[in-house]
Amino acid sequence: MDNGKLNPGQWLVSDCGKYPSENSCKMVIAAPIDQKPHFMNAVVDHAGRVHGEKDTPEFRSNLEKTIEEVNVQ
Ligand SMILES: [Zn+2]
C-alpha cells in the first residue's frame, strides 16, 4: 500500500456500508484474491463480533454472494 492505494491486481472486497445494519457499520474489508480463505475468515469474524452472525456453512454461502471482485489498476 502506497499513498492509500491498493496494489494492482484482483481484490476481494466486502463493504458493510452497502447493507443496512443496526449500528450503521461502514467497515470495508479487502484482500488480494489469492488470500481468499484469510479474507473470508476476517469477514466472518467481523460479522460475528459486530453483527452477531453465526459462522455456519449457510451464512458463508450467503456472504460469498455479497463479496465483490475489484480490479485495481
Ligand atoms: Zn460491519
**What pLDDT score does 27 carry?**
96
pLDDT digit string, tens, across residues 27-64? 999 999 999 999 999 999 999 999 999 999 999 999 99
> Rounded to the nearest whole angstrom, what is the distance from the C-alpha of residue 27 to the centroid of ligand 1?
5
> Rounded to the nearest whole angstrom, what is the distance from the C-alpha of residue 26 to the centroid of ligand 1?
6
pLDDT exceeds cutoff 80 at 3: no
> Rounded to the nearest whole angstrom, what is the distance from the C-alpha of residue 63 to the centroid of ligand 1?
12
Cβ(19)–Cβ(43) under 8 Å? no
Q: Give the pLDDT band (50/70/90) at residue 21.
A: confident
> Rounded to the nearest whole angstrom, what is the distance from the C-alpha of residue 28 to the centroid of ligand 1?
8
- E-assigned strand segments in 1-73: 9-15, 28-32, 68-72
Q: Which single residue is written with the C-alpha cell 475489484?
A: 70
pLDDT exceeds cutoff 60 at 20: yes
User: Is the pTM higher than 0.95?
Assistant: no
